[in-house]
Amino acid sequence: MSSATLQQRSQGKQRAEDDPLAKLDEDESAEPLDEQEQEQVIQSLREANEKSNYTFRALMLVMLGLVGVLYLTPIPDYITGDHPESHLTMLFHPYHIHEASHDDLIRFPAFPIYLVLLFLQGGLLFGGLYETMDRMGMIRSKGLAFPQQPHQFGTAPSILAPVLADIRWHPTHSGIRADKDDRPPPVWTTMSPRLLYLCLLTIASTPLPLMTFGAGNFVNAGWWAITTIALTVLCICEGLIDKFERESIGLNGMKYAYKGA
C-alpha cells in the first residue's frame, strides 16, 4: 500500500473525528451516527449559527451607528448658518395671497425644527441599536421592582408592551374563525415578539419621510428615509436569524436512537 493511500486514510480518519458527518460524506455505506455523534453535529451547527448571528448583528450595529453619525453631520453648519436650508421661508397673508408682498414673508430658523425631527427619527434609530446591543449580550438588563413583570418584547419600553401584546395576541388574530377559513394567520402573530418590536419601530419611522415627500421636498424625504431603510434591513436580518434559530431547534426532533459498536 502506497504512502499516499495511508496518508489519505489517516486524514479521512482525523476529519471523521473532528466532524462526525465527514465519514458519511466519504463513505455512503457508513453506519448511521450514534446518539453522541448526533449531539456533536447539532452542537457544532448551533455554535456555527451563533457565530454567524453575532457577525450579522455586529454589521447591523455598525450600520445603525453610521446612520446616527450621518444625521449629526449637518449640525455644525446649522449652528454657523452655513447650511443651505438654515431658514424656512413662509408666505403669510391674512386675506388673499395674491395681495401679499415681500413684507409678508416670514423666516423661521431651521435648526430647532431639525433638532425636533432628529429627536424623533434618532429615537427610533436608537431603539433598534439598543435592541441589537441587547441581543448581542452587550447590555445587561436591570431587574424590575415588584409588582412590575418583564415582557417578551426585548428592550421595548414598558409603555409599549400592552400595545405589542394586543397586536400579537388579539383574539381576532388567533387564526380560528367562525367560517373555518383556511387562510394562514397574520404574519405579525407568528413572528417572534422581539422582531415585532423592531417592525413597529420601522413602521413608526415612515410618516416623517412620507409627509416630507408629500410636501414636495424630495431631498429631505430621502434624508429622513435613511432611518426607515436601515430599520428595514435590520428587520430582514433579524427575521432570517429567527428562522435559522427555529430550524436549529428543530434538529432535536430529527435525532434517532442508534447505539454504535
Determine the length of the chain.
Answer: 261
Considering the domain boundaries, does residue 90 fall inside one?
Answer: no
Contacts of 124 (CB under 8 A, 6+ apart): 201, 204, 205, 227, 231
Q: Structural domain tally of the chain? A: 1
Would 103 be classed as within a structural domain?
no
Q: What is the pLDDT of residue 184?
A: 67
pLDDT on residue 44: 75
What percentage of the chain exceeds 70 in pLDDT?
61
Q: Of 20-29, 119-128, 135-144, 156-165, which has the strongest mean pLDDT?
A: 119-128
Long-range contact pairs involving 201-204 (C-beta distance under 8 Å, separation at least 24): 201/124, 201/127, 201/128, 201/231, 202/228, 202/231, 202/232, 202/234, 202/235, 204/124
pLDDT-derived band at 86 (thresholds 50, 70, 90) equals confident
pLDDT of residue 6: 43
Mean pLDDT for 162-174 is 71
Task: Give domain status of residue 110, yes or no.
Answer: no
Q: Average of pLDDT values for 131-155?
A: 77
Residue 42 is assigned to a structural domain of this protein: yes
Cell numbers of 146, please?
Answer: 415588584
Residue-level pLDDT at 260: 54
| Residue 6 falls inside a structural domain | no
Higher pLDDT, 234 or 187: 234
Q: Which residues contact 240 (CB under 8 A, 6 or more apart)?
A: 56
Cα 24 to Cα 22: distance, rounded to the nearest angstrom: 5
Q: Which of the four pLDDT bands, split at 50, 70 and 90, describes residue 254?
A: low
Give the range among 41-45, 106-110, 227-231, 255-259 with minimum mean pLDDT: 255-259
Mean pLDDT rounded to a whole number for the chain: 76
At 109, the pLDDT band (50, 70, 90 cuts) reads confident
3 part of a folded domain: no
Q: Show the domain range for 236.
A: 34-82+115-138+148-170+185-254
Q: What is the pTM of this model?
A: 0.73
